[in-house]
């Protein structure tokens, strides 16, 4: 049985680069061909919440499960993967080339802290699903004061 790699990190949210996203979007609007193919693939992802969990669903068609890595800390989830290009056939000529290949990395900030002990990931029919239990509310511990 193969597993999706889940790693635990620290402060993934700090790695999120808004500047890079802004630059990519600026070039994509001017001319989509100006952005390198490995940077243009940005799979669509949904994040939704239930009373007990945060769920991330990503559309990763064409990616092998062993090429998916999920890293998380209490406040963010990083999903990275690689979609391999189909082998070229001698003499083939493209008439349309819209599919992006290569590596991608997404850092998704979570709306609430997550419990790393309650995380599962599955990959079926090109969809990655990560279910993360919410971290319980901080409990106040009362300290008893002794008589001396």
78-98 tens-digit pLDDT: 999 999 888 888 888 888 878
Residue 39 lies in a domain: yes
Which of residues 119 and 2 earns the better pLDDT score? 119
* Cβ neighbours of 118 (radius 10 Å): 13
What 8-state DSSP symbol labels residue 14?
G
- Flag whether pLDDT at 7 surpasses 60: yes
How far apart are alpha carbons 144 and 139 in whole angstroms? 16
Residue 124 binned pLDDT confidence (cut-offs 50, 70, 90): very high
Question: What does 85-148 look like in DSSP terms, one character per residue?
Answer: PPPPPTT---S------EEEEEEEE-SS-EEEEEEEEEEETTEEEEEEEEPPPPPPPPPPPPP-
Residue 144 lies in a domain: no
- Flag whether pLDDT at 61 surpasses 50: yes
66-77 tens-digit pLDDT: 999 999 887 889
Among candidates 120, 133, 142, 136, which has minimal Cα distance to 53? 133
Which of residues 2 and 97 earns the better pLDDT score? 97
Residue 106 lies in a domain: yes
Total tally of structural domains belonging to the chain: 1
Residue 62 binned pLDDT confidence (cut-offs 50, 70, 90): very high
Residue 145 lies in a domain: no
Residue 147 lies in a domain: no
Which of residues 58 and 31 earns the better pLDDT score? 58
Q: What is the pLDDT of residue 33?
A: 47
Length of the chain counted residue by residue: 148
| Exposed / middle / buried, residue 104 (Cβ in 10 Å: 0-12, 13-18, 19+) | buried
Which of residues 114 and 8 earns the better pLDDT score? 114
Could you give the 3-state DSSP secondary structure of residue 11?
Answer: coil
Residue 140 lies in a domain: no
Residue 90 lies in a domain: no
The Cβ-side half-sphere exposure at 63, using a 13 Å CA radius, reads 28
8-56 tens-digit pLDDT: 666 555 555 555 566 666 655 555 544 444 446 889 999 999 999 999 9
Residue 18 lies in a domain: yes
Distances from the Cα of 51 to the Cα of 8, 96, 126, angstroms: 23, 45, 26
CATH number, domain with residue 126: 2.60.40.790
How far apart are alpha carbons 108 and 12 in whole angstroms? 9
Distances from the Cα of 84 to the Cα of 1, 3, 17, angstroms: 22, 19, 25
Q: What is the pLDDT of residue 42?
A: 86
Which of residues 129 and 13 earns the better pLDDT score? 129
Instruction: Provide the domain limits for residue 104.
Output: 5-85+97-134
């Amino acid at each position: 049985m193969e597993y999706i790699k889940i790693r635990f990190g620290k402060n993934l949210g700090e790695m999120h680069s808004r500047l890079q996203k802004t630059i990519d979007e600026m070039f994509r609007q001017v001319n989509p061909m100006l952005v390198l193919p490995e940077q243009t693939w940005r799979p669509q992802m949904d994040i939704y919440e239930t009373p007990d969990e945060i769920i991330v669903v990503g559309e990763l068609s064409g990616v092998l499960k062993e090429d998916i890595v999920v890293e998380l800390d209490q406040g963010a989830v990083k999903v990275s993967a690689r979609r391999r290009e189909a082998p070229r056939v001698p003499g083939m000529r493209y008439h349309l080339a819209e599919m992006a290949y290569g590596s991608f990395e997404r850092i998704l900030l979570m709306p609430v802290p997550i419990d790393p002990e309650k995380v599962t990931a599955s990959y079926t029919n090109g969809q990655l699903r990560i279910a993360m239990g919410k971290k319980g509310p901080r409990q106040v511990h009362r300290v008893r004061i002794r008589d001396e």
